[in-house]
Structure 1
Amino acid sequence: MTTPDFSFTLAGQDGQARAGLIATAHGKVPTPTFMAVGTAGTVKAMTADAVRATGAKIVLGNTYHLMLRPTAERVARLGGLHKMMDWPGPILTDSGGFQIMSLAKLRKLEEKGVTFRSHIDGTPYELTPERSTEIQHLLDSTITMQLDECTKFPATHKEAMDSMELSIRWAKRSRDAFVKRPGYGQFGIMQGNVYEDLRRHSAAALVDLDFEGYAIGGLAVGEGQAVMFEVLDYCTDFLPAQKPRYLMGVGTPDDLLGAVARGVDMFDCVMPTRAGRTARAFTSNGIFNMRNARFQDDSRPLDENCTCLCCTRHTRAYLHHLFRCEEMLGPMLLTIHNLTYYQNVMQGARAAILNKEYDAYCADVRGNWQRGPDA
């Protein structure tokens, strides 16, 4: 069977909100979509079957973590990341730049790339745009990300410009190193902090390199939702309508709804899985803390509108009990639910866009969040 080319097809639009379909070598992804984060080759507390049951069509891995353990070369010898983690569907891999800046020890940034010491054992490494691209190729990533520098926040215009221009030069080197083949894609990453002129310049330079898709980096780093939305209001317009747009590291369900309204197609964030491990539940009636004593005699499902394993088989009281006893099943069940809820929000958004009812959908979802756990 012939492998399809990597492509993005727009199926419908309501205002700036878009519903589309990404075709890849490993399957199709309806958009808008939320990517479950499987940083080290696993979505924490989840089997691959459990991830599939949430409705996820694409997952995310990370260059930095996988290059340290078990190494990209070992993953390749074992048949690639798809085989190793039992995920034959699409996988996007982050380039490792953000993790180097946030986790690595004694890092040094140069034109060539980044030298750093592992946060695990202090072993020295070098990561260049070429090496990052090679690692992602060894992993057999469906979507490869360019290596970029993650601009700090806040940053002056000069600091943001210098960082953005370095990321553009690294984008060219990443693009040159990318091995093109049917059904695989590489995304460039727009930088520029909160400065419209820099975002415009970054986007134009990346579009000239003709990536298969474009990411919006450097947001959700402390600027707050209002500022993030202000930046998205203009920067999605700088990106090609016929290519997917990916907002990196975002966010809450409300962040996702607002970003979709501004023309974003793809998202990832550790929030639903991390929250699941710390007793926080995202539900159609808002966010619950399952350690709260109010749930100890509550025999209702966590979310009556959800059909996941957690909500159809167990009660709020049982979840409360599991977390109070520090049983590992509590984080497992709540992670299943949170990821399912995120997928449900995205599926609902897609249906609303196709029906040209997106504003009403957002108002309804946000209204339900205000009802609280006793509704």
Structure 2
Amino acid sequence: MLKVPFLTRNGETLIALLEKCQSMSELKQIHALLLSFGLYQEDEFSSKILSFSALFDSGNADYSYRFLSSQLSNPSTFDWNTVIRGYSKSRNPNRSISVFIRMLRDGVSPDHLTYPFLAKATASLMKRELGVAVHAHISKHGSHYQGCKNMETIIKKFQQRFKKVQGEMHCWEELQSRLVSQFSNASSIIDRLQVLKDVKNYGSLSCVNGIEDAVLMKQLQSLQNILISINKTLEEFRSITLSIGKIYRDARQLIEGGSNKLSVKQLQLQIGVKPTLAYCLDGLKLLHEMHQSEYHLKTSLVSGLSVLTLKPNPGDLIALQQLLVDQPNIPKEEVQDIFDIIFAEDIP
């Protein structure tokens, strides 16, 4: 049973509960509380109910749609997109089309994210004619300026830059595997140091003169070599971060530099299922910031490892290693969503 602490006036406690929610049963209990307090239509609550029920593995897309259609008095395009996206990932992607039709009937205009989510849904549709109808609608309504070949050319240049980023991310993952292995080896040595400092742990070998110092020296030398290798690996991470940063800056220069600076309207222009230039630029910026933050985290973790050499703590070593493995600054699902939108036209 979910334990609900005292509700503060601004509802901060319920927000915390929503952020920690792990199952639909918990979500339903929180939803019931929001109904009783009359807070369920507040954006900060409704968006979290929609996103969890529609997008989380333990969620329920049907629940998100019922909430959207029966309880929200004026759902935004973002809210509709969340449900469409949820169904596009579900076992019943046909429902994405039904929700989209209801969205249009309710007078809500699609935006640059709606069509890519629909395109993703059509790849899994049971009925081919539905997919054809959706693509026809996108061709007719998803482009505000089909004749703008120059804009399409710029978008293709952005897509090429995203492919370069994908290549850098592949190298990043190879480095990640190497760093985790190096970090694990260093942690094992640090964990052993306290044991090796006590001559009683050498058993029958304790009578050998100077064995404690010799073994410790050998282990410390091995640790030093690993730390040198780790720092070299960190330099390679830094190079990738700088490369992604340069890709982003060059892309920004493409649309902001020179005499043909693009207008806000051009940046928001939607051509079929292609991404807008604004989304392309934001996507590159976000990917750069993710990798930059993760690089800084890795350098901090390695610094923490060096500190623990002097005062080892098994619990701290495990926590540092888990944080290194998790890469919290590069959420895989968010990264995949960016590439799905950038390359929506390539979805079969």
TM bin, normalised by shorter chain, reads: 0.3 to 0.5
Larger Rg: 2
Task: Pick the structure with more strand per residue.
Answer: 1
